[in-house]
Structure 1
């Protein structure tokens, strides 16, 4: 799918490339919906792992945020076909009756992951936010989604380092200095 795109990928082509019979393929995936769901979950899970591994408290919150964005960005620039596939899968799911929930789940997973990471950092680095966690999580999902699509359309240029710095500064600015001490 990454190489040929969703519309040109067939169950026959997948089975042939995997070196298995169609019956084995259909034993593993009882429908195209099951296949699409598995692909979305696998790719999304991989992105989540990349960012989670990068989000470890650093000396400052800004460094921690920057490391997370940089890890995601490194993955995008190294794997543009995989990221393009996520957009194709989302569009495919939105256009196919009965598949819409797959696109919804994909974006819920993005927001849920950001919310989990935000909460982990809040507790380990002791800070408060200027916005509610669910709002910030959806904002981060939308922002990284737009950033990724922008890269896929415009390509790599020198501006991306400055863009990542701007995003990091903006997100760090949504944090209050420090949470009040427990009484």
Structure 2
């Protein structure tokens, strides 16, 4: 995946080919074609790799036993600091993958799958945090996951087009407060309150 991501960052999705990735990786084209029979399969693997990178950041960001609010605050903060701040190349690559899939006949489902996976990763992570702490969420976790992704998506696009770290941090804090408020975290009936984390993002 390292070679594929390097080619994507350098040449863009439209000019990426199995041959170019094989050359970047230093392996025979036949080997690359054996592993990935088409460009679509390779792009799907790249997206999956990026999504797994995102999931790892969220998993390492917070102690899920400290509840949903802590998880949302810490997860968003860590995601931004590790995968957005100073990583415009990664974010541009992801947007380019989405646009390419939407504009290429037969590949539209790849864009839908990409966002479904992002939202599912966040939703599952939030649900685990709430369940471990004996908490409830005011909205379905699937909806919370979609809104976290879409909110970050907008902020990322602004940052990529006009990098302004201080302003982005302020906006990120505001969005985090909105998402925490939307979640309306409460202890389940009969569950002990574990405490919340209201430290600044």
The normalised TM-score by structure 2 is: 0.82
When the two chains are superposed, the root-mean-square deviation of aligned CA atoms in Å is: 1.9
* Alignment check: 8 A CA contact 1:2 1:82 kept: yes
Shift in alpha-carbon separation, 1:58–1:165, aligned structure 2, 3 A: farther
If the length of structure 1 is used for normalisation, what is the TM-score? 0.89
Are residues 159 and 62 of structure 1, via their aligned partners in 2, closer, same or farther at CA, if it must alter by over 3 Å? farther
1:30 corresponds to: 37
- Cα distance between partner residues in 1 of 2:109 and 2:86: 29
| Match among 186, 189, 192 for residue 177 of structure 1 | 186
Change (3 A) 1:96 1:177: same
Residue 78 of structure 1 aligns to a residue whose secondary structure is coil
* In structure 1, distance between residues paired with 2:100 and 2:27: 25
Q: Which of 169-178 and 58-67 deviates more?
A: 58-67
Per the TM alignment, residue 101 of structure 1 is displaced from its structure 2 partner at its CA by 1.5
Q: Distance in 2 between matches of 1:168 and 1:58?
A: 19
* C-alpha separation in 1, matches of 2:35 and 2:54: 24
- The one of 144, 150, 165 aligned to 2:173: 165
* Aligned equivalent of 2:149: 141
Task: Give the aligned partner of residue 46 of structure 1.
Answer: 53
Number of positions where the alignment pairs a residue of Structure 1 with one of Structure 2: 182
1:120 equivalenced with 2:94 (yes/no):
no
**Aligned partner of 1:78 among 86, 91, 98:** 86
Q: How far off its partner does 1:58 sit?
A: 7.4
Show structure 2 runs of 5+ residues with no match.
1-7, 192-201
